[in-house]
Amino acid sequence: MFSKKEEKRAPCTVEQCESCKKDTKRKFVVGDYVFKETSLCVSCSGQLRITKIFGEIIKA
């Protein structure tokens, strides 16, 4: 009666371009870590850096 339904969370990675400050969210990939420099921004070719990794609630 009082038990709460367990929330399931999927890991997400947010990357930010150091030039245009655009954020992009994608699925977490093993090897990702916060502040890691990844690829180049598709809009301005600036350096992308991971700013956040978090678990997002999966909606049923």
Instruction: Using CB under 8 A, list all residues that contact another protein.
Output: 9, 11-12, 28, 30-36, 51-57
**Residue 22: exposure state from Cβ atoms within 10 A (0-12, 13-18, ≥19):** middle
In the complex, minimum distance from the CB of residue 56 to another protein, in angstroms, rounded to a whole number: 6
In the complex, minimum distance from the CB of residue 52 to another protein, in angstroms, rounded to a whole number: 4
- 38 to 1, 27, 28: CA distances (angstroms): 47, 14, 13
Nearer to another protein, 11 or 45 (CB): 11
SS3 58: coil
Nearer to another protein, 43 or 51 (CB): 51
